[in-house]
Chain A
Amino acid sequence: MGDVYLSTLKPNEYGRIKGIDSGCKANKRLYELGLYKNALVKVVKNDFGPVILNLSGNKLALGRGLASKVLVEPYFFERN
């Protein structure tokens, strides 16, 4: 399955970070905040205002503009 932008994921969907194409400075900031390559994120809220993510248990609010520059590969847990 192809990569999509983080802002298109619905609540409770997971994605693996593949890349970010914002400005260089913001890129690095996001990496340092834990949105590094291959990190697994879960979208908690995505309707209005910044998108809220769950990054291994910690919540991060990310401006909509930024979230639409983060490429993720949708990730599905196997049903158990």
Chain B
Amino acid sequence: MSIIALVGNPNSGKTTLFNALTGSNQHIGNWPGVTVEKKEGKFKHKEKQYSVIDLPGTYSLGAYSEDELVARNFILSGASDVVINVVDATNIERNLYLTTQLLEMGVKVVVALNMMDEAKQKNIEIDVCALSKSLGIPVVATIASKNKGLEDLIEKAVEYASSGEQPRIDISYGEEIDREIDRVKGFLDSSKSDHPKWLAIKLLEGDEEIYKLVEKKFKLPEDLLASIKEKTPDYELEIVDKRYAFVGNIVSLAVKKPAREVETITDKLDKIVTHKYFGIPIFAIIMFIIFQLTFVIGQDLLGGYVAGFVEFIGENLVKLLELINSPEWLQSFVSEGIFGGIGTVFEFIPLIVVLYFFIGILEDTGYMARAAYVMDGLMRAIGLHGKTFISMIVGFGCNVPGIMATRTLDNKKDRMIALLINPFMSCGARLPIYLVFIAAFFPNNGALVLFLLYAFGIVMALIMGKIFSKVLFKEESSHFIMELPPYRLPIFKYVIRSMWDKVWDFLYRAGSIIFVVVALLWVLSVLPFGVEPYSQESILGRIGTILAPIFAPAGFGTWQATVSLFAGIAAKEAVVAILGMVYAGVSEGTELVLALQDVFTPLTAVSFLVMTLLYTPCAAVLGTVKRETNSVKWTIFMALYTFVLGWIVAVLIYQVGRLLGF
């Protein structure tokens, strides 16, 4: 099977092309850095199976960010038979810069000249044939979003991969640098590397990763290394300049574009949404409207049906079990364990579907990059990078991709802070907890309470970010550099697909981790034999009773709340599931709502909600933190500081609230 790698600038339509080729379930976001890991998909062409790897979008193949390294290392590994380089036809100079780097690496490249429709709108004329000739590789015009040119692209890529042709590119970096490259190359030429010239160029460009690699692999004389290090500062930019000059030459032959840009719809919209004063309020209003719509559509319109459906299934299943004289414990497990626990979680699916749908639209239109832009001023003021905000917004869906999105932050300090504060972004799994309490205590102000909770999470994230940037990390924050992609109409199919992916993930987790947690807790709740299930005498009740005093100062020191919070560390969905089991023991959400009204007050409900918002993130998030930081210390730190912070704030809310007479 042949392997095709997709490489391209962020926003070049690479992921759209990937989707169009493979029809796979993979997310496209219209902002830099959504593909944080390489994704794989498969397709068939003329009876042959092909595998496509979607590499992270990069501007260059340096070692500037983790994304670039992932892409570069994959290409260097030689795993792919051919590389499809997706080039944004509207921004051809910068995109071809990456192409030259690929060619210098000596890999087989086919250019997909994408977004030809947008280029046409901007009156950019490209002579595809001339471009192909001067680059010495196949170039195919495509419009990935409309499935145009893809057959041809695949045809050319497959043909080129199996041909004996090798890419040839010869950029002159000026006499002196060329001579240096040759000299360094002389020491590298051996059976140990396929791309000695590229390595030599990278060394002279001052690429630290390559430096380390070469040091390990080759025995270079000390004085050579020293002379490379000395010359790098002079050569570095010169090399980039010469590459651009090379690209400029090609472009001047093959591309005609108007001297001055006309004002586009994107420009007009940006005048409003990035406005000095209106920018932030517009962002806040958009988020508020999304929450409001989530309630109206997800709960009022759809919620009832799903609840009714779950109830119907639950009741009939139990009836069926009674009918076939199944053991009583099984009936109890099904009605209380499964439908009391997991069923409660399922009732919130419509809300989650609707919220994901709207966040997906925001992502795919390109508005997210503007949100990061308008927030940069505010973020700067507290010593954070504006891009941190993107990872925070992604975290609204789920903290796992949120934490992975911090990879787009280039320096370590910015990245660590963004990672540490991400769990305060209220993820989809915490939504059911809020909703159940809102239904019980604040039914008339649902959207407002929800909005305030999310906003409070953001505020806490910012405060902690400020503290971390002062206390933990002393380095300077890096500069804000970000592309603002043109607005695009979201492709409905992809928005739905990305939403479905997330919902499926939620269902999958509900069906696996949460099921296990719920089943385990059910067992603990009926043991030892003979006790009233879910009573304080059960093992579950006893454990909860021992730990409950921890939460007494926060006003919810009951064994039930305690057990649900600890189960929430496994998965946040488990919190509502456990509450459903221990308080109501029935399949209906409304009974849980009534039960909660008996044991919580509005004040303790608020302190409990704040605790669930802030305390230790779920196991999946901790696992991601471990993987991304490669540090057990930071993972434990994350688990503990969030717990302590959640506890302190919950206690403060309860105690101050009590003093004020709530």
User: Could you tell me which A residues sit within 8 Å of B by CB distance?
Assistant: 22, 24-34, 36-37, 39, 42, 44-45, 47-50, 52, 54-63, 65-66, 77
Residue of B nearest to A59 (CB): B484
Residues of B within 8 A of A33 (CB): 59, 94, 481, 483
Among A58, A60, A77, chain B packs the most CB atoms within 10 A around the CB of A58
A29 touching B270 by the CB < 8 A rule? Answer: no
B38 close to A (CB within 8 Å):
no
Number of B interface residues in the complex (CB < 8 A): 45
B628 close to A (CB within 8 Å):
no
B482 touching A61 by the CB < 8 A rule? Answer: yes
- 8 shortest interchain CB distances as A-B pairs: A63-B480, A59-B484, A34-B94, A49-B377, A63-B479, A32-B60, A66-B479, A36-B244
B94 touching A29 by the CB < 8 A rule? Answer: no
Residues of A within 8 A of B479 (CB): 22, 26, 62-63, 65-66
Bound CA span A49–B370, Å: 12
A32 touching B62 by the CB < 8 A rule? Answer: yes
A77 touching B259 by the CB < 8 A rule? Answer: yes
A77 touching B237 by the CB < 8 A rule? Answer: no
Main secondary structure of the interface of A (DSSP, over half): mixed
B276 touching A48 by the CB < 8 A rule? Answer: yes
A28's partner among B62, B267, B270, B276 (CB-CB below 8 A) is: B62
Residues of A within 8 A of B448 (CB): none
Residue of A nearest to B377 (CB): A49
B241 touching A37 by the CB < 8 A rule? Answer: yes
B240 touching A57 by the CB < 8 A rule? Answer: no
B259 touching A29 by the CB < 8 A rule? Answer: no
B90 close to A (CB within 8 Å):
yes
Shortest distance in angstroms between A34's beta carbon and chain B's nearest beta carbon? 4
B241's partner among A25, A36, A44, A47 (CB-CB below 8 A) is: A36
Among A26, A31, A57, A61, chain B packs the most CB atoms within 10 A around the CB of A57
Residues of A within 8 A of B64 (CB): 25, 28-29, 32
A59's partner among B237, B270, B410, B481 (CB-CB below 8 A) is: B270
Among B94, B267, B369, B485, chain A packs the most CB atoms within 10 A around the CB of B94
Residues of A within 8 A of B271 (CB): 45
16 contacts between A and B (CB under 8 A): A26-B479, A28-B62, A28-B237, A31-B240, A32-B60, A32-B62, A34-B91, A37-B244, A50-B376, A54-B267, A59-B483, A59-B486, A60-B481, A61-B481, A62-B479, A65-B479
B356 close to A (CB within 8 Å):
no
Q: A32-B62, A44-B270 are in contact. Are A57 and B90 (CB under 8 A)?
A: yes
Residue of A nearest to B264 (CB): A57
Bound CA span A29–B67, Å: 14
Bound CA span A33–B244, Å: 11
User: Could you tell me which B residues sit within 8 Å of A by CB distance?
Assistant: 59-60, 62, 64, 90-91, 93-94, 97, 122, 124, 206, 233, 236-237, 240-241, 244, 257, 259-261, 266-267, 270-271, 274, 276, 369, 373-374, 376-377, 380, 386, 410, 478-486
Bound CA span A47–B479, Å: 17
Bound CA span A60–B386, Å: 14
Bound CA span A37–B241, Å: 7
A57 touching B91 by the CB < 8 A rule? Answer: yes
B122's partner among A44, A48, A57, A77 (CB-CB below 8 A) is: A57
Bound CA span A77–B560, Å: 73
B260 touching A77 by the CB < 8 A rule? Answer: yes
Residue of B nearest to A62 (CB): B481
Q: A56-B91, A58-B91, A77-B259 are in contact. Are A32 and B481 (CB under 8 A)?
A: no
A52 touching B484 by the CB < 8 A rule? Answer: yes
B373 touching A61 by the CB < 8 A rule? Answer: yes
Bound CA span A44–B97, Å: 24
Bound CA span A61–B482, Å: 5
A45 touching B257 by the CB < 8 A rule? Answer: no
Residues of A within 8 A of B376 (CB): 49-50, 61, 63
Bound CA span A33–B97, Å: 9
B482's partner among A27, A55, A60 (CB-CB below 8 A) is: A60
B481's partner among A30, A54, A57 (CB-CB below 8 A) is: A30
Shortest distance in angstroms between A40's beta carbon and chain B's nearest beta carbon? 9
Residues of B within 8 A of A60 (CB): 481-484
4 other contacts beyond A56-B93, A58-B94, with CB at 8 A cut-off? A58-B90, A60-B483, A63-B479, A66-B479
A59 touching B276 by the CB < 8 A rule? Answer: no
Residues of A within 8 A of B483 (CB): 33, 58-61
Bound CA span A39–B91, Å: 13
A28 touching B240 by the CB < 8 A rule? Answer: yes
Bound CA span A66–B479, Å: 7
B377 touching A48 by the CB < 8 A rule? Answer: yes
Bound CA span A32–B61, Å: 10
Residues of A within 8 A of B374 (CB): 49
Bound CA span A32–B91, Å: 13
Residue of B nearest to A60 (CB): B483
A66 touching B97 by the CB < 8 A rule? Answer: no
A50 touching B90 by the CB < 8 A rule? Answer: no
Among A25, A28, A52, A59, chain B packs the most CB atoms within 10 A around the CB of A59
A66 touching B480 by the CB < 8 A rule? Answer: yes
Shortest distance in angstroms between B482's beta carbon and chain A's nearest beta carbon? 5
Residues of A within 8 A of B410 (CB): 29
Residue of A nearest to B244 (CB): A36
